[in-house]
């Protein structure tokens, strides 16, 4: 009889222990010397019925309600900058073939780093992010056999045909985004975040053109520099559609209206057209021009997120393809687009 009671007592203790630990995964509990088990928090659950405007932000246990992000970007410049023009004949009346050569661009790396904070008031979120993208692209063009005339674009049009041109574009683009937003459910699988904020940027472009004329044993060169800053309001959305508990399709779209101030517009050209005359130099500088321009951003990708360590932390990673576009009538082609890959990691704690 005593043996039966002892067996029942042991089974009861085991059942109670299993019940207390059922809310956490076994492998999520760290091994410690203390005999007291740590408190486990439940993962915030999605609504069981279609929930409109229900908050959907990440909510980790015992948290500071903050998170950090880091993104690796691999973008390229899409800017329709003309380099040189080839003509079958130098005169406009007899010319029967013309070709304009444009710049070629390669993908270059950059990064983003940011931080955010979740407010208790209605689950609103504040986020600030800094982006740095610096890239240099260079090309060379040689006059083809069919062309009798070759002229540069960023030098004054010379009366003597050239033979080769070396062209380089250097871009330095840094910007900061400050957003206020709120994640919410629209149904059970669709999450939406609308944000309002500010966008500030610094942009510098340097164009160097070296135009070689073998018949004169000379090189005509030009330097074109634009320096500017921009600031203005920004609005957009971010949404994701859950395919599985941890896997989602994510998209983003935003636009901004920016006040654009040019702090430097500089052009220097050194040209030599005749063997008997030295190179003529022309320099133009302007620093008081301003305008209003537009900004747009688009992104689509896949996102994976997961709670871990007894739900006290949350990790999120995203792989997407971005389009970042700046429209301005003062930029050389009128616009600047930066498409490319973005890999983003986020840690909530």
pLDDT value, residue 22: 44
76: DSSP letter: -
Residue 229's pLDDT band (boundaries 50, 70, 90)? very high
pLDDT value, residue 87: 84
Three-state helix/strand/coil letters over 112-179: EEEEEEECCHHHCEEEEEEEEEEEEEEEEEECCCCCCEEEECCCCCCCCCCCEEEEEEEEEEEEEEEE
Tokens 């900058």 identify what position? 81
Residue 94's pLDDT band (boundaries 50, 70, 90)? low
Distance CA 215, CA 221 (A): 16
Tokens 């966008």 identify what position? 199
40-52 tens-digit pLDDT: 777 777 777 666 6
Q: Which residues contact 179 (CB under 8 A, 6 or more apart)?
A: 126, 127, 128, 195, 196, 197, 234
154-199 tens-digit pLDDT: 777 667 788 999 999 999 999 999 999 999 988 888 999 999 999 9
In order of start, what are the domains of the chain with their CATH numbers? 60-79+110-139+168-348 (2.40.128)
In angstroms, the first-to-last Cα distance of the chain is: 53
pLDDT, mean of residues 212-223: 89
């Amino acid at each position: 009889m005593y043996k039966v009671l002892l067996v029942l007592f042991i089974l009861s203790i085991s059942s109670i222990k299993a019940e207390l630990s059922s809310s956490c995964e076994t492998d999520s509990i760290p091994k410690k010397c203390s005999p007291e088990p740590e408190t486990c928090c439940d993962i915030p659950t999605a609504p069981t019925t279609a929930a409109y405007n229900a908050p959907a932000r990440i909510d980790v246990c015992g948290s500071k309600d903050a998170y950090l992000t880091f993104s690796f970007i691999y973008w390229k410049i899409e800017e329709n900058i003309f380099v040189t023009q080839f003509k079958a004949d130098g005169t406009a009346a007899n010319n029967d073939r013309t070709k304009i050569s444009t710049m070629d661009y390669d993908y270059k790396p950059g990064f983003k780093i940011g931080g955010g904070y979740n407010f208790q008031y209605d689950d609103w979120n504040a986020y600030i992010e800094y982006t740095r993208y610096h890239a240099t692209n260079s090309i060379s063009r040689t006059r083809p056999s069919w062309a009798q005339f070759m002229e540069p674009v960023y030098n004054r049009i010379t009366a003597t045909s050239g033979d080769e041109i070396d062209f380089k574009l250097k871009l330095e683009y840094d910007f900061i985004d400050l957003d206020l937003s709120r994640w919410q459910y629209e149904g059970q699988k669709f999450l939406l975040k609308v944000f309002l904020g500010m966008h500030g940027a610094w942009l510098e472009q340097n164009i160097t053109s070296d135009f070689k004329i073998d018949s004169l044993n000379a090189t005509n060169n030009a330097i074109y520099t634009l320096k500017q800053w921009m600031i203005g309001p920004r609005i957009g959305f971010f949404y994701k559609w859950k395919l599985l508990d941890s896997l989602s399709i994510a998209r983003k779209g935003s636009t901004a209206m920016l006040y654009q101030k040019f702090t430097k517009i500089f052009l220097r050209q050194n040209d030599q057209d005749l063997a008997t005359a030295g190179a003529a130099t022309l320099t133009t500088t302007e620093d008081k021009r301003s305008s209003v321009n537009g900004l747009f951003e688009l992104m689509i990708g896949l996102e994976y997120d997961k709670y871990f360590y007894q739900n006290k932390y949350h990790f999120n990673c995203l792989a997407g393809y971005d389009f970042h576009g700046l429209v301005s009538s003062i930029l050389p082609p009128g616009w600047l687009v930066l498409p490319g890959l973005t890999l983003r990691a986020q840690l909530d704690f």
